Amino acid sequence: MITGKNYLGKELSNDGEVQFRTFNPIDNKETEPTFFEATREEVNMAVGKAAKAFEVYKKKSDLEIAEFLEAIATELEADAEALKEIYRTESGLPEARSNGEFTRTVNQLRAFSEMLKDGSWVDAIISNPEGKPDIRRMQIPFGPVAVFGASNFPFAFSTAGGDTASALASGSPVIVKSHPLHAGTGELVSRAIVNAAIKTGMPDGVFSNLNSKGIEVGEWLVKHPKIKAVGFTGSYKAGVAIEKLAANRPEPIPVYAEMGSVNPVVALPSSLEQKSDDWSEQYAGSITAGCGQFCTNPGLILAIESPALDSFIEKLGTKLSKVAPSVMLSPEIQRQFEAAKSEVLSQDGYNQINKFDGDLQPNYGRQEVISVSGESFLQNSAFHKEVFGPFSVVVKCKDKDQLNEVLRNMEGQLTGTILSADQQELQEYNDIIESLRETVGRIVYNNVPTGVEVCAAMTHGGPFPATSNAKFTSVGLTAVQRWVRPISYQDWPDELLPEALKSSNPLGILRNVNGRFTTDSL
């Protein structure tokens, strides 16, 4: 049963007068439950509980926190069908997507649990050469973290998503500002987290979930002096606004914002000459996957003018027009998609390739691809902008030099892709690959950028404006590094050191001892 209330730690609360409902984009109507937006007092109570919980939670062992994360996954699985049903109702996303995203969410919780069991994630470094000070360093948690739920991933980037899982793994309590598009999903996920916290003996306030209709709840959270870091996935406009709020506090705090990307795909000549059919099929699918509502949607395809490129463009347009359109997350997102697309299509200097010309149901996105010359792209920044939805621009460069110039004039991106059917060709285009590498956080070879694997080696980030800090990832095990800071102990008695730094290495973790990685004791 959905109550519509806020979770302030383990306590349910609905003191506010502002109420709202979520929306079913397929049925084109509001859902039944009513949600109560958190008041400023409720925000303060949640943060106060988190700060108090931090004093206890930061002392929990890695094994105890691992048990907590495992328990969250188990609680989610126990309520899987109800969670998936409300997820589909509030997002319009299909059953296969709800199943895949749910599995990803519980798996990443368990992945962080396994990371904690290993224990080496704290990056213990010991430097004690003879005649020098004994200095030992490790990572410790920041403190309470505010997480903003994402509109397009109600499971994997929201209430129990990567930001929450990694922050809890670090030893930091979490307060989620639930996304208003899927507040019901957020409440059921929050119930699972709170139940897991109770069952594993975690302190009250280690997790809270706040409903919001407008921007005030998020602003109160970011500006609260006891919040120590922020995780955000969403638009550039909102991400920059949050970053400014955090920077203008008396005590500025880090904001790890993932703000979108056009994810350039560079199709080298051999790829279009030899695999035009395959790539046009794959990219028609990638552009329209999830109605284009992925942060890794391929919004740009770059290539050098040739008959093979003309053939690829024709095939891509034909295949794209035959893909059945799908529903967008909400009427407002569909409206924003059409507005952003119209802004691009109001420019001079492009050719329409193809679009879906059939009738659309309410809230569905009409996919479209256009082409522009490299010169037009360089002269008009409107063609560079992300259009959040099933829309892509093919840039026809006159030669290799212009292709390189286009890449050098691009802003930071989450991903970049190289398509090639000839490894010798990669050597010839090494300068192009280098230019792309300087712009992105993940460089893909002969694949599509959509889909982000949860693993230790993943970088889901990139230079600004793709993210607010290119040094970090929001996906994968190293995402935990966003919520910790290093501390060094100098000449401390061994018995007073944290377990990870003691000479006997009681945890058996991998440590850097005088420049050598080892699990040995000193």
> 3-state SS string over 325-355?
CCECCCHHHHHHHHHHHHHHHCCCCEEEEEE
Sketch out the chain's domains with CATH numbers. Answer: 9-259+472-482 (3.40.605.10), 264-445 (3.40.309.10)
pLDDT of residue 354: 75
Which residues are catalytic, by number? 258, 295
Instruction: Spell out a b/e string for 430-451, using b for 16 or more CB atoms within 10 Å of the CB, else e.
Output: eebbebbeebbbbbbeeebbbe
What is the Cα–Cα distance from 81 to 59, expressed in whole angstroms? 35
What are the φ/ψ torsions at residue 284 (nearest 5 degrees)?
-65, -40
H or E element: which one contains 55? helix 40-57
Of 420, 477, 414, 406, give the one whose Cα is nearest residue 449: 414
ω into 465 cis (within 30 of 0): yes
Confidence (pLDDT) at 358: 79
Farthest-apart Cα atoms in the chain, separation: 79
Task: Record the tokens describing residue 508, joined without a space.
Answer: 């058996």
Close Cβ partners of 485 (under 8 Å, ≥ 6 residues apart): 139, 140, 142
Mind giving me the DSSP string for 219-272? HHHHH-TT--EEEEES-HHHHHHHHHHHHTSSS---EEEE-----EEEE-HHHH
Tens-binned pLDDT, residue by residue, of the chain (522 aa): 899 999 999 999 999 999 999 999 999 999 999 999 999 999 999 999 999 999 999 999 999 999 999 999 999 999 999 999 999 999 999 999 999 999 999 999 999 999 999 999 999 999 999 999 999 999 999 999 999 999 999 999 999 999 999 999 999 999 999 999 999 999 999 999 999 999 999 999 999 999 999 999 999 999 999 999 999 999 999 999 999 999 999 999 999 999 989 999 999 999 999 999 999 999 999 999 999 999 999 999 999 999 999 999 999 999 998 899 999 999 999 999 999 999 999 999 999 887 677 789 999 999 999 999 999 999 999 999 999 999 999 999 999 999 999 999 999 999 999 999 999 999 999 999 999 999 999 999 999 999 899 999 999 999 999 999 999 999 999 999 999 999 999 999 999 999 999 999 999 999 999 999 999 999
> How many residues are listed for the chain in this entry?
522
Cα distance from N-terminal residue to C-terminal residue, the chain: 55
Q: Which residue has the tokens 């059409």?
A: 338
pLDDT of 211: 98
Query: Quick one: pLDDT at residue 174?
Result: 98
Short-list 316, 322, 318, 370, CA closest to 342:
370
Distances (CA, A) of 264 to 103, 384, 450: 29, 10, 12
Q: Which two tokens stand for residue 156?
A: 């994997």
Residue 212 structure tokens: 């919001």
